[in-house]
Amino acid sequence: MSASKIFHHLHHVCVVVRDLDRSVDYYRSLGVGPWQDYPSLSIYELSAADPTAYLQLRYRYANLGNFQLQLCQPGDGDTPQRRFLDERGEGVFHLGFSVDSVDQAEQEGLAMGLAILSSGRLPDRSGFTYFDTAGHGAGVTLEVRRSKLV
């Protein structure tokens, strides 16, 4: 059986921060940008421990030459991003990988023994799944994602 390729096409790196506006201003001062607001997660069918808290996540992103840099400020509710910030401080929370099918990639991850932290899908089945890899010596969560199909 060939090795899975679900973690081969890096799309973005996501850094959890305490103050999104301050962090964006800092990166802008270094010439990183332009920054855009990430669309609301309210359009997704979410599978998360606390979907209400998930909707409080604030994201901004900058498309750079070879990947996207995302910044995430969690709200007060129980999300993996909030737990990361409280336990470890600011830093790289996840690496996001582009896949052809999030559903198929999710099944491949499960077959590898990965646990799902959370996921979200749109009606066209695009969306994302976060795998709990941080506690396995990896130090960072892995995500598979597919942009909305047009």
pLDDT at 3: 65
Owning domain of residue 135: 10-146
Residue 28 belongs to some domain of the structure:
yes
pLDDT at 1: 40
- The total number of structural domains that make up the chain: 1
Segment-wise mean pLDDT, segments of 10 residues, the chain, 150 residues: 80 98 98 94 92 95 96 95 95 96 96 94 95 79 85
Residue 120 belongs to some domain of the structure:
yes
* The pairing of beta strand 10-16 with beta strand 68-73: parallel
Q: Which residues of 12-47 are buried (b: 16+ CB within 10 A; e: fewer)?
A: bbbebbeebeebbeebeeeeebebeeeeebeebebe
Residue 23 belongs to some domain of the structure:
yes
pTM: 0.92
Residue 2 belongs to some domain of the structure:
no
Encoded amino acid at 86, one letter:
D
pLDDT at 81: 95
Q: Find the CATH number of the domain harbouring 67.
A: 3.10.180.10
Measured in whole angstroms, the distance separating CA 93 from the mean position of its chain's CA atoms is 8
> Which tokens go with 106?
């999710």
Residue 3 belongs to some domain of the structure:
no
For residue 53, the surrounding DSSP H or E stretch is helix 51-54
pLDDT at 35: 98
